[in-house]
Structure 1
Amino acid sequence: MIAHKIPVSVLVVIHTADGQVLLMERADAPGFWQSVTGSQDAGETLEQTAIREVREETGLDAAAFELTRWGIENRYAIYERWRHRYAPGVTHNTEHVFGLKLPVAQPVIVATHEHLHYRWLPWKVAAARCFSPSNAAAIRLLPTRL
């Protein structure tokens, strides 16, 4: 039996105190850049999902830095190319936005099955590079969070 993804996810904008943002290029969609994202596992809190996804995708320990829930929920249609990961009939996902503030940009270890490369970019450049409108909108809010 195939375990389907839960249509509840986190988006974690990893950033520095001076507004640098970490973006990663998707392995399954080269040219698509994004922040850390991932679906909630059964029984997890959203904070636990954020910590797990950051660790899996970057090797960073989110609990060692300033992880904050931004109070933003985005509901959007799941891209057709990824709908097969969800139960039949599931077409929408609810995304919960978090920020993870690091004192300075740090090297990360990308999960090669998920990402090809990473870059630390000024927030305006990062927002323009994101393929996801909700990811770009969250990054554009960063100056109000610094």
Structure 2
Amino acid sequence: MPFKIPESVLVVIHTPALDVLLIERVEPPGFWQSVTGAKDHADEPWTVTAWREVAEETGIRAGSLADWELENVYEIYPRWAHRYAPGVTHNRERVFGLTVPAGTPVQLNPREHRAWRWLPWQQAADACFSPSNAEAILQLPRRLPRRQP
């Protein structure tokens, strides 16, 4: 199996009311997160990676995807370092938001995730194991277009 590319997406899926979809990893259990995933090849556009990962992990194929033009660089967790080429220690993560209607059906990939839940954005941020994921969720209210009265 080829090594993972150390460039990935984080997609915060949410409703207009700011309920956020979290999915629980199969391994290790208890790790709740938004959709994440690496590029398939180095020149794959960020939006293509984002849509592919959303479809693969949740079955969702529609909604309003927004590139937040925010990138995080973080150290790869030791438990997953073997997936990357020798010497690769950090990953670059591009953040997106995906607005979907309330009640959007979710169909998990059982090889990757075991459960899903919708939570109000503050509770979703508290439930994430990843600091960059929690921070992205906390930014959600500021990332939405302003509503006209």
The root-mean-square deviation of aligned C-alpha atoms, in Å, is 0.8
Aligned partner of 2:108 in structure 1 is: 110
How far has the Cα of 1:67 moved from its partner?
0.2
- Residue 23 (structure 1) aligned with residue 22 (structure 2): yes
Q: Does 1:40 align with 2:29?
A: no
Q: For 1:10-89, what aligned pairs fall within 5 Å after superposition? A: 10-42=9-41, 43-61=43-61, 64-89=62-87
* Whole-angstrom CA distance in 2 between matches of 1:31 and 1:65: 27
Structure 2 gap segments, 5+ residues each: 145-149
Match of residue 8 from structure 2: 9
Q: Name structure 1 gaps, 5 residues minimum.
A: none
TM-score (norm 1): 0.95
The equivalent residue for 1:132 is 130
Identity %: 60
- Could you tell me the TM-score, scaled by structure 2's length? 0.94
* Moved >6 Å (runs of 4+): none
Instruction: Specify the SS of the correspondent of 1:82.
Output: helix
**CA distance in structure 2 between the partners assigned to 1:113 and 1:88 by the alignment:** 25
Deviation at 1:106, TM superposition (A): 1.7
